[in-house]
């Protein structure tokens, strides 16, 4: 028994929707068995499938009830076979086992893929009624190449949708990158540059003051050379062309005098030690005699 709602505003047909969905599921299963010989046009009229999903083409507009996961219906190897067929790398016999699942999902309106009436009819004949290409040639009055061309277009559209939702499934399992919050600086760029310039100037000033420490220049000081310095300035009153005045330093002389004194002291102490040792030896000799 087939129930069809009437176009009447006085009748509420909401209670029949559940019965209609149950009938569609059972009819889809029986199209390959009891209703295999049914004319495809009658089957399409009974199912009255939605084949235009242009309003749902943007992914954000996809509503509930549509296929949102491929794990329960297609394995990764199934997806590879569909991809190979859409790229003309495999014959359509390699995916016939998948066409049944695709047809069942499509006519339950779970695959929002827009098809023409001829494309949907070919999908029904191959996927639901398990008909071959020769049968479709006879009933649709189409050539074999036309049928295969329409069929591969169907599979390309279906694969595109399946690939999209499979990619979204994989993307959802990957770790999401942390969102970096950009906060404005508390001070402007000009103020930041000015502060940095002041810090550099202060550092350079401290280094310069440290390098000008008078204690570092003591090793270059002229010791007791005031008289020599005055004589050099009064020597004709002329400054050499190089602008440098040479003054003899007495530091080397003092260092030499200090060395001589130390050597003299060490010589005297050595002489005393030798004299003492010689006198002791003479006393020993006298005592032995």
Burial 188-222 (b: 16+ CB within 10 A, else e): eeeeeeeeeeeeeeeeeeeeeeeeeeeeeeeeeee
**Per-residue pLDDT, 119:** 94
Share above pLDDT 90 across residues of the chain, in percent, rounded to a whole number: 32
In a domain, 77, yes or no: yes
Q: What is the pLDDT of residue 286?
A: 46
pLDDT band at 283 (very low <50, low <70, confident <90, very high): very low
Give me the mean pLDDT over the 181-185 stretch: 72
Domain membership of residue 180 (yes or no) is no
Inside any domain, residue 193 = no
Mean predicted confidence (pLDDT) in 152-161: 94
Q: What tokens does 269 get?
A: 């102490």
For the residues 115-122, what does the mean pLDDT come to?
Answer: 94
d(CA 48, CA 37): 18
5 in a domain, yes or no? no
Q: What is the pLDDT of residue 193?
A: 84
Q: Is the pLDDT of residue 288 over 50?
A: no
Classify residue 183: in a domain, yes or no.
no
More confident residue, 70 or 175: 70
Mean pLDDT (the chain) is 77
Confidence of residue 189 (pLDDT cuts 50, 70, 90): confident
Is the predicted pLDDT of residue 285 greater than 60, yes or no?
Answer: no
Judged by average pLDDT, the poorest of 43-52, 169-178, 243-252 is: 243-252
Q: In this structure, is residue 186 part of a structural domain?
A: no
Q: Half-sphere exposure of residue 137, counting CA atoms within 13 Å on the CB side?
A: 9
Indicate whether 289 pLDDT > 50: no
pTM, two decimals, is 0.56
* Domain-located, residue 243: no
Number of domains present in the structure of the chain: 1
The residues near 106 (Cβ < 8 Å, ≥ 6 apart) are 49, 113, 115, 120, 123, 127, 158
Structural domain including 165 reads 38-56+65-172
pLDDT at res. 276: 53
Those residues with Cβ within 8 angstroms of residue 103's Cβ, 6 or more apart along the chain or in another chain: 123, 124, 126, 127, 128
Domain assignment present for residue 211? The answer is: no
Q: What is the pLDDT at residue 249?
A: 58
Higher pLDDT, 108 or 239: 108
């Amino acid at each position: 028994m087939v129930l069809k709602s009437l176009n009447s505003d006085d009748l509420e047909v909401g209670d029949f929707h559940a019965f209609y969905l149950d009938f569609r599921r059972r009819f889809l299963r029986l199209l390959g068995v009891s209703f295999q010989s049914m004319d495809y046009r009658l089957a399409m009229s009974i199912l009255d499938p939605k084949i235009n999903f242009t309003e749902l083409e943007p992914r954000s507009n996809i509503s509930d009830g549509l296929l949102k996961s491929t794990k329960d219906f297609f394995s990764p190897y199934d997806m590879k076979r569909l991809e190979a067929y859409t790229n003309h790398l495999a014959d359509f016999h390699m995916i016939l086992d998948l066409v049944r699942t695709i047809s069942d999902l499509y006519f339950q309106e779970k695959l929002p893929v827009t098809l023409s009436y001829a494309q949907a009819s070919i999908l029904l004949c191959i996927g639901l009624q398990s008909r071959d290409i020769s049968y479709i040639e006879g009933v649709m009055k189409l050539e074999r190449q036309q049928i295969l061309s329409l069929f591969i277009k169907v599979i390309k559209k279906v694969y595109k949708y399946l690939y999209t939702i499979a990619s979204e499934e994989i993307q959802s399992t990957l770790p999401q990158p942390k969102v970096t919050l950009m906060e404005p600086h508390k001070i402007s760029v000009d103020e930041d540059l000015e502060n940095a310039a002041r810090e550099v100037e202060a550092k350079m000033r401290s280094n310069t003051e440290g390098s000008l420490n008078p204690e570092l220049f003591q090793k270059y000081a002229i010791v007791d050379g005031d008289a020599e310095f005055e004589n050099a300035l009064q020597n004709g009153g002329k400054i050499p062309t190089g602008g440098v005045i040479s003054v003899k330093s007495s530091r080397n002389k003092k260092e030499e005098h200090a060395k001589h004194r130390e050597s003299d002291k060490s010589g005297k102490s050595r002489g005393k030690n030798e004299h003492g040792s010689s006198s002791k030896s003479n006393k020993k000799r006298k005592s032995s005699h």
